[in-house]
Amino acid sequence: MERAHLAAERVMRTLAQSIKISDLPTGKRMQWVNELAKDLNDIMQSEDPANGAQDFVEDVLEEFVNDVERWMIRVEAIEQSLKPTF
Give the 3-state secondary structure of residue 16: helix
**Residue 59 has what pLDDT?**
93
pLDDT of 71 above 90:
yes
CA 62 – CA 46 distance, rounded (Å): 22
Sign of CA dihedral 65, 56, 10, 41: positive
- Residue 18 pLDDT: 81
Per-residue pLDDT of 11-63, as tens digits, reads: 878 877 887 777 777 888 888 888 888 998 899 888 998 899 899 999 999 99
Q: Is 8 helix (H, G, I), strand (E, B) or coil?
A: helix
